[in-house]
Amino acid sequence: MSDTKPDSKDASASTGASNFIRHMIAQDLASSKHGGRVQTRFPPEPNGYLHIGHAKSICLNFTVAAENGGHCNLRFDDTNPAKESQEFVDSIKDNITWLGFQWHGDVRYSSNYFDALFDFAVQLINKGLAYVCSLSADEAREYRGTLTAPGRNSPDRERSIADNIDLFSRMRAGEFADGTYSLRAKIDMASPNINMRDPVLYRIRHIDHHQTGSTWCIYPTYDYTHCISDAIENITHSICTLEFEDHRPLYDWILHNLDIDSLRAVSDLADSDYDYVLPEQTEFAKLKLNYTMMGKRNLKEMVETGVVQGWDDPRMPTLAGMRRRGFTPASIRNFCESVGVSRSESVVDLSMLEHAVREDLDKHAARAMCVLNPLKVVLTNLPSGHVERLSMANHPKDESMGRREVPLTQEIFIDRADFEESPPEGFKRLVPGGEVRLRGAYVIRCDEVIKSSSGKVQELHCSVDRDTLGKNPEGRKVKGVIHWVSAELSLPVSVRLYDRLFNVEKPDSKDIEDYRTCLNPDSLVELYDCFVEPSVADSAVRHFQFEREGYFCVDAIDSTPERLVFNRTITLRDSWSV
């Protein structure tokens, strides 16, 4: 799908708002802490689809690097093959590109570093800083202690270096079953930080890996892998979310206990003149949005149980879903920038996201008219067979977007909501005997209301004031303007009206037993009897503002040349709430 043109492209450097990460980097640059370099990375695990929360991290990492003449790597943190797949790496790459970012060089994988990781593990063993443990997972949990009680040393903690080397080699060779042994760091079983109680570095998993196939049957853990991968890639600022804060001491412990020269030797900058400086981790608060569930587990479950129609369901907070819904890359980037970066866990109001899309779409979306709930209007003083091609601007403020022709015929459709027999106070649309402007065309007067036997309004007979094209009528003021389409020369289309998926602010709150109880029954309303002006059929653009209704985009999947399907991205702001 093509997105609204102009600034969708340049996702790089912008005048960013002040935040603590930018401050830190400015200071580090000033003090030449990392040799004046800025190198970041976005490290997703390919175990699901990216969502708007990931977008915040992507924007942060890529933007902050670009602003400072640095680079951002894309590295798949693929150390748990049981949960990962190629499908996810493909979608993640696609989403990042769509968002408008280009990673530095080739895509990286932690699995690229499995050999080096193994060698460093041997190094730790040789330094007496790691050992092979035979405790089962359950036993290990028991030995670990609790939040308030210290743990106990593993009976294998003092195993000899030679035995550890032997066992670790045999783990790699596939001699042992899953779970029989693990490699653990020897740190401190009494540490108040549970991550430091001899964390597991390697576990045995006889399972193929999406990148390395059957080469390995032992896989390194996140804590062990991430810091070394950062060091290998010469990352300067390893930015992650708050829940990893307690892992930082371990991140540092591993790096500081490895021989720095051997680390440097396998790093990207091994042959450069740069000083070799270890990466440092900094944490920020992840994005939370009200009326939205963000957890991968929850999203996955909604997909699998059919609450939504897939990862790219337009109601999903996934980038794939938002893209299909009609969000533009720029709108998401602007949103992420406007939300800021801090360490306080906050819940952003959905209205901020809505503002960001409207802002971008208002500027770039072509205007068109589409009648969602048609009510036939006969323009009685126009001859049947009358076809008048009216020229209208595609954008009220941007002539460069050109013009289009909209046919006016004797019979037209207007929206049922734009006619009221007994209008409420302040109603500015069509009423019996009243006048209203047809957008881009004439002022009409409602002369007659035709009803069915049941009393339902069937059609309206109106007369056109031929002297009102491009000018106001003499001597009276017509306040209302409504949209319309030709009954004969318009395209029947389907329209999907989307709204928030949940009707409570915190669908993932513990107070809610089952999120299914707070699903918004109107999150999707499908209309099959809509009519859009013919110009959209041969338009190259995919995003439109259907005047007075909202922003819509052509559904990239279900649309056919015979029948277009539109998704409502977001309504227009509406200060006329009925």
Partner RNA sequence: UGGGGUGUCGCCAAGCGGUAAGGCACAAGGUUUUGAUCCUUGCAUACGUUGGUUCGAAUCCAGCCACCCCAGCCA
Taking CB under 7 A as the rule, does residue 343 contact RNA? yes
Q: Residues 90, 115, 275, 345: which binds RNA (CB under 7 A)?
A: 345
Of 443, 438, 447, residue with least CA distance to 482: 438
Please identify, using beta-carbon distances, which residue of 223 and 280 lies nearer to RNA. Answer: 223
Among residue numbers 369 through 428, which ones bind RNA (CB under 7 A)? 395-397, 426-428
Taking CB under 7 A as the rule, does residue 358 contact RNA? yes
Q: What is the DSSP string of 325-392?
A: HT--HHHHHHHHHHH---SS---B-HHHHHHHHHHHHHHHPEEE-EESSEEEEEETTS-TT-EEEEEE
Q: How far is CA 554 from CA 230, 522, 560, in A?
A: 41, 21, 10
Taking CB under 7 A as the rule, does residue 27 contact RNA? no
Taking CB under 7 A as the rule, does residue 154 contact RNA? no
Q: Residues 128, 174, 179, 295: which binds RNA (CB under 7 A)?
A: 179
Q: Residues 1, 10, 17, 403: which binds RNA (CB under 7 A)?
A: 17
What number of helices (H) and strands (E) belong to the chain? Answer: 13, 25
CA–CA dist 548, 371 (Å, integer): 10
Taking CB under 7 A as the rule, does residue 285 contact RNA? yes
Q: How far is the CB of 309 from RNA (least distance, A)?
A: 26
Per CB under 7 A, which region of 173-181, 374-382, 513-521, 525-533 contacts RNA? 173-181
Contact assessment for residue 320 and residue 297, using Cβ atoms and an 8 Å cutoff: no
Q: Residues 42, 114, 176, 219: which binds RNA (CB under 7 A)?
A: 219
CA–CA dist 66, 433 (Å, integer): 62
Applying CB under 7 A, what is the total number of residues that bind RNA? 92
Q: Residues 236, 318, 545, 569: which binds RNA (CB under 7 A)?
A: 545
Q: How far is the CB of 441 from RNA (least distance, A)?
A: 6
Q: Residues 2, 105, 119, 137: which binds RNA (CB under 7 A)?
A: 137
Q: How far is CA 146 from CA 111, 154, 392, 540, in A?
A: 33, 15, 71, 62
Please identify, using beta-carbon distances, which residue of 264 and 430 lies nearer to RNA. Answer: 430
Q: Residues 87, 158, 349, 405: which binds RNA (CB under 7 A)?
A: 349
Partnered with residue 71 across adjacent β-strands are 39
Q: How far is the CB of 274 from RNA (least distance, A)?
A: 27
Q: How far is the CB of 18 from RNA (least distance, A)?
A: 4
Q: Residues 13, 431, 481, 527: which binds RNA (CB under 7 A)?
A: 481
Burial of 503 (0-12, 13-18, 19+ CB in 10 A): middle
Q: What is the DSSP string of 155-221?
A: TTTT--HHHHHHHHHHHHHT-S-TTS-EEEE-S-TT-SSGGGSS-EEEEE----BTTTBTS-SEEE-
Q: Residues 127, 206, 451, 573: which binds RNA (CB under 7 A)?
A: 573
Counting Cα atoms < 13 Å in the Cβ hemisphere of 329 gives: 22
The pair of three-digit structure tokens given for residue 184, joined into one six-digit string: 């653990």
Q: How far is the CB of 28 from RNA (least distance, A)?
A: 14
Q: Residues 9, 23, 206, 516: which binds RNA (CB under 7 A)?
A: 23
Of 300, 307, 262, 336, residue with least CA distance to 42: 336
Q: Residues 161, 352, 387, 525: which binds RNA (CB under 7 A)?
A: 352
| Token pair 């035709």: residue | 450
Contact assessment for residue 100 and residue 333, using Cβ atoms and an 8 Å cutoff: yes
Among residue numbers 235 through 254, which ones bind RNA (CB under 7 A)? 242-247
Taking CB under 7 A as the rule, does residue 475 contact RNA? no
Among residue numbers 508 through 537, which ones bind RNA (CB under 7 A)? none
Q: How far is the CB of 247 from RNA (least distance, A)?
A: 6
Q: How far is the CB of 360 from RNA (least distance, A)?
A: 11
Please identify, using beta-carbon distances, which residue of 132 and 313 lies nearer to RNA. Answer: 132
Q: How far is the CB of 427 from RNA (least distance, A)?
A: 4
CA–CA dist 417, 497 (Å, integer): 16
Among residue numbers 451 through 470, which ones bind RNA (CB under 7 A)? 468-470
Alpha carbon 434 to chain centroid, angstroms: 47
Q: How far is the CB of 47 from RNA (least distance, A)?
A: 7
Among residue numbers 45 through 84, which ones bind RNA (CB under 7 A)? 45, 77, 79-80, 83
The pair of three-digit structure tokens given for residue 220, joined into one six-digit string: 């390194």
The residue type found at 316 is M
Taking CB under 7 A as the rule, does residue 203 contact RNA? yes
The pair of three-digit structure tokens given for residue 480, joined into one six-digit string: 């209302």
SS3 of residue 84 by DSSP? coil
Per CB under 7 A, which region of 33-41, 256-264, 311-319, 434-442 contacts RNA? 434-442
The pair of three-digit structure tokens given for residue 235, joined into one six-digit string: 């990352």
Q: Residues 2, 12, 342, 458: which binds RNA (CB under 7 A)?
A: 342
Q: Residues 221, 523, 567, 569: which binds RNA (CB under 7 A)?
A: 221
